[in-house]
A and B are shown apart, each in its own frame.
Chain A
């Protein structure tokens, strides 16, 4: 199907989608609801909606329901659905982008969302991952922080030399600033994009 045909399909189904959601709508427009993704998904048993249902909900323009469901945060990004989809829909990437929209539009925070935010904030600040801070940031936002429960694990990792005490920070002049600018510019572009969307709609 051409992009234009997909776009018409989106219109025909009476979507109430806009911006990034409309783009995702086009990507999943060719889904035939065969269920191969659900049957292949290792975490499907823990999901509230199966991947096939998510595809259908996007087709039906059920934005709120899709973006507030648990299932998108239970995807382990193993890509089994993606390689098996007979319509070549990149199902795992679709779920990842739905997570991105849920974050951008401030849907209720899930643990997966807390994790993603903490992770990206550390990459933005240091240019590289720093696991102890990731654990602190993640657990600080949980209702019942389980930091003490982590102690035995931390000791094991310490004993095996698998924990760093200080972040491996990229020097500002040699990459640190460049990484921060990447984050800034991507954000600027997103904002510019959503403004365009706004003017377009009004």
Chain B
């Protein structure tokens, strides 16, 4: 099989608050022998605020899409807000001729068609690389992990081409392929964390986040897997505020950190040290299991 290659759009959060997402995506893709080529001089997709103006949102996304399209590459986008914006823009450019003309006029000298595919790394790993290959590369099965697969909103909504919005399974399947015990997290797996309201309506946002963590606990999870920097901001960085002092913390990790861990990559190269809710105890349990297995063999 020819080597998989994608354009890579990290988005703004991946160099600051979600840097370990960037680290772990790059490390895992390299280990899977998939090439990611970062879009040169990419610009912000406009996140939620640009959504108030469809033309602006589409034009901001289209400037990034143009780079990938010129090179005949599909694009991998780890931030699910950016993923939603870029895939929505690609679809709009493809289907709406008037909007396409208008956006190309705004961009000067581009002829973006929107024909490329925009993929979340979850899709690239589960559908393009495939779970068989993932399983073959697992050297440290995550057997002690009871993981709640959290998709959040924008990986599956308003629309994607690889999984269903009501009860997606790609992340469940991937976590199972890593040897983890996957708890049934439906319907909370796609329920909103409130991230977009973190500054403007914080109590509402914290309440939604608190509910998600409590439900994951009730279902028996000892970790959450996620794939969005805003969900990460809520479920990791703001978890102490959301839970209050009494509740026991629940490590929330980027799903790519877990993939890397199961494939035996060095935890330091996956940015585990950058987590606010420390996963150290959890990681210690995973490696205790491993040394236990070693002693018995």
Q: Is A97 an interface residue (CB 8 A)?
A: yes
Against B, the Cβ 8 Å flags (1 = close, 0 = not) of A59-87 are 00000000000000110111110110000
Judge whether A97 and B276 touch: CB under 8 Å.
Answer: no
CB within 8 Å for A78 and B192 given contacts A97-B54, A111-B200, A182-B60: yes
Q: How distant is A48 from chain B, measured CB to nearest CB, in Å? A: 13
CB within 8 Å for A128 and B60 given contacts A170-B43, A186-B53: no
Q: Is B296 an interface residue (CB 8 A)?
A: no
Q: Is A200 an interface residue (CB 8 A)?
A: no
Against A, the Cβ 8 Å flags (1 = close, 0 = not) of B108-126 are 1000000000000000000
Residues of chain A contacted by B48 (CB below 8 angstroms): 77, 96, 116
Alpha-carbon gap, A43 to B60, bound state (A): 28
Chain B interface extent, by class:
35 or more
Residue of B with least CB distance to A73: B200
Judge whether A76 and B52 touch: CB under 8 Å.
Answer: no
Residues of chain A contacted by B43 (CB below 8 angstroms): 123, 127-128, 170, 175, 178-179
Residue of B with least CB distance to A164: B16
Q: Is B165 an interface residue (CB 8 A)?
A: yes
Alpha-carbon gap, A97 to B17, bound state (A): 28
Q: Is B222 an interface residue (CB 8 A)?
A: no
- Give residues of chain A (102-134) contacting chain B, Cβ–Cβ below 8 Å: 103, 110-112, 114-117, 119-120, 123, 127-129, 131
Question: For chains A and B in complex, what number of residue pairs have CB atoms within 8 angstroms?
Answer: 166
Judge whether A96 and B16 touch: CB under 8 Å.
Answer: no
Q: Is B51 an interface residue (CB 8 A)?
A: yes
Q: Is B59 an interface residue (CB 8 A)?
A: yes
Judge whether A175 and B204 touch: CB under 8 Å.
Answer: no
Judge whether B49 and A129 touch: CB under 8 Å.
Answer: no
Residues of chain A contacted by B108 (CB below 8 angstroms): 178, 181
Q: Is B4 an interface residue (CB 8 A)?
A: no
Q: Is A92 an interface residue (CB 8 A)?
A: yes
Judge whether B46 and A115 touch: CB under 8 Å.
Answer: no
Judge whether B196 and A123 touch: CB under 8 Å.
Answer: no
Stretch at the interface among B68-76, B134-142, B154-162, B252-260: B154-162
Residue of B with least CB distance to A97: B52
Residue of A with least CB distance to B57: A96
Residues of chain A contacted by B165 (CB below 8 angstroms): 83
Residues of chain B contacted by A103 (CB below 8 angstroms): 52
Judge whether B194 and A77 touch: CB under 8 Å.
Answer: no
Judge whether A157 and B17 touch: CB under 8 Å.
Answer: yes
Judge whether B158 and A90 touch: CB under 8 Å.
Answer: yes
Alpha-carbon gap, A182 to B166, bound state (A): 36
Q: Is B129 an interface residue (CB 8 A)?
A: no
Q: How distant is B190 from chain A, measured CB to nearest CB, in Å? A: 8
Against A, the Cβ 8 Å flags (1 = close, 0 = not) of B10-22 are 0011011111000
Residue of B with least CB distance to A173: B41
Q: Is A5 an interface residue (CB 8 A)?
A: no
Judge whether B15 and A168 touch: CB under 8 Å.
Answer: yes
Would you list 23 pairs from A and B whose C-beta atoms are within 8 A, ordered by A residue?
Answer: A42-B194, A42-B208, A73-B201, A76-B205, A96-B48, A96-B51, A97-B52, A100-B52, A112-B200, A114-B200, A120-B50, A123-B44, A123-B50, A131-B16, A135-B199, A162-B17, A163-B17, A168-B12, A175-B41, A178-B43, A179-B60, A182-B59, A186-B59
